[in-house]
Amino acid sequence: QLQLQESGPGLVKPSETLSLTCTVSGGSISSNNYYWGWIRQPPGKGLEWSASISYSGTTYYNPSLKSRVTISVDTSKDQLSLRLSSVTAADSAVYYCVHYYHDNSGYFYPPSTWGQGTLVTVSS
């Protein structure tokens, strides 16, 4: 069974770069038809999709973050990463790593596997 575990700094200063890692276990990050993404949730608020990456390396970004965000995978470590530059207090949130996929007919399934989330606070 696929499991995801996020890790990160917890506290980031304004204007700095936030870096998060998600370690995948129970499966390979490079498996065909697999996609990986980051969804965040500010404290007490709703969910916002940030970025995704496909098994072939195609990236997808939320336009609201596009100029600041980078998603990547390290297949040798089965790890997913997120970098968000020039952070402000508005970037304070629980960041979830998620997995989704499409079947061989091309039908997409939404994220059914989520990490437990990691809280990132942006403050000086």
- Residues at the interface with other proteins (CB under 8 A): 46-49, 52, 60, 62-64, 96, 100, 107-112, 114-117
Least distance in angstroms from the C-beta of 110 to other proteins = 4
Q: Which is nearer to other proteins, 3 or 17 (CB)?
A: 3
Residues sharing a CB contact under 8 Å with residue 33, sequence separation 6 or more, in sequence order: 55, 101, 102, 103, 104
Q: Which is nearer to other proteins, 10 or 46 (CB)?
A: 46
Least distance in angstroms from the C-beta of 3 to other proteins = 12
Residues sharing a CB contact under 8 Å with residue 54, sequence separation 6 or more, in sequence order: 34, 35, 60
Q: Which is nearer to other proteins, 52 or 92 (CB)?
A: 52
**Spatial separation of the C-alpha atoms in residues 56 and 29, rounded to whole Å:** 11
Q: Which is nearer to other proteins, 12 or 38 (CB)?
A: 38
CA trace torsion 115, 109, 61, 64 (10° rounding) = -80
Least distance in angstroms from the C-beta of 95 to other proteins = 11
Least distance in angstroms from the C-beta of 47 to other proteins = 4
- Within the chain, what is the greatest distance between any pair of CA atoms? 49
